[in-house]
Amino acid sequence: MVPEFPPGAHFTYSNRAYDLAGAVVAKVSGMAFQHFVEERIFKPLGMSSSYQLRTRTDRDFAQGYAPDGKGWKPAPLAEADKTFASGNLASNPSDMQRWDRALLNATLLPRKSLEEMFTVPRLTSGAKTIYASGWFIEPNGAIWHGGALEGYGNANVLVPGTGHAIVLLGNTGPKERWKPWEVAGEIYNAAKLGPALVPFLPLMPTTVPQ
């Protein structure tokens, strides 16, 4: 694979970067990535409904759907890169709230590590981004990330300033009228959980003309 730009010069989303991070975790810990996540995250936080796809049968697994003309059709369960860390984790809102509480209260990682994770790097090209280490850091105070596979779309939104977290797990992929992160912001504002969040910035790589 040929790099699109020198390291640190620009931002563009890449699943391969997560796969590389998973390979590093496996090497340093001496455990397969899925076992590391299970032993160091899911079990300590009581996330009993979270697991890697295909590793167990779940009769309550939500069926995903894809557009079919003016209606919908079941979408086959797709998988991201199977080997490492770019996807393929199943969870539910209760478990995701346990994860969010651990982040907001610094019970799994020390506060210093969280601050580093939520810090947007300075790009050497002078381009601007709001992407930190696996999180979009919005000027409105929200910290979030989304995900999508065929038939599914989700968003996990934290607002550290007020201590709130909103998790949306949908069984259809993000489209023009369904962007889970934007809906989460609308729910936050409608519930008046804190100062109103202005609309999230559009997602774009820094390699396109600004």
Rounded alpha-carbon distances, angstroms, from residue 207 to 6, 74, 190, 200, 210: 12, 36, 35, 20, 8
DSSP tag of 175: B
Residue 210 has a CB neighbour count (10 Å cut-off) of 7
How are beta strands 71-74 and 65-68 bridged, if at all? antiparallel
Rg (CA), the chain: 18
State pLDDT tens for residues 38-67. Answer: 999 999 999 999 998 888 888 888 999 998
pLDDT, the chain, mean: 91
Q: What sections of the chain are H helices per DSSP?
A: 15-29, 33-37, 43-45, 93-105, 111-117, 180-190
The CATH number fitting domain 15-53+65-190, selected from 3.30.1360.70, 3.40.710.10, 2.40.128.130, 2.40.37.10: 3.40.710.10
Helix/strand/coil for 48: coil
pLDDT tens across 67-125, in order?
898 899 999 887 766 657 888 889 999 999 999 999 999 999 999 999 999 999 999 99
pLDDT, residue 210, reads 54
Q: What count of Cα atoms within 13 Å lies in the side-chain half-sphere of residue 85? A: 17
Q: How far apart are CA 143 and CA 160, in angstroms?
A: 8
**What is each CA distance from 149 to 40, 53, 68, 157, in whole angstroms?**
25, 12, 17, 18
Q: Could you tell me the residue ranges of all domains in the chain?
A: 15-53+65-190
Tell me the pTM. Answer: 0.91
Compute CA distances 113 → 108, 109, 134, 146, 152, whole Å. Answer: 10, 6, 13, 21, 30
Collapsing DSSP to helix, strand or coil, 35 comes out as: helix
- C-alpha torsion sign, points 116, 119, 120, 122: negative
By mean pLDDT, which of 25-34, 122-131, 132-141, 168-177 is the weakest?
168-177
Contact 171, 65 (CB under 8 A): yes
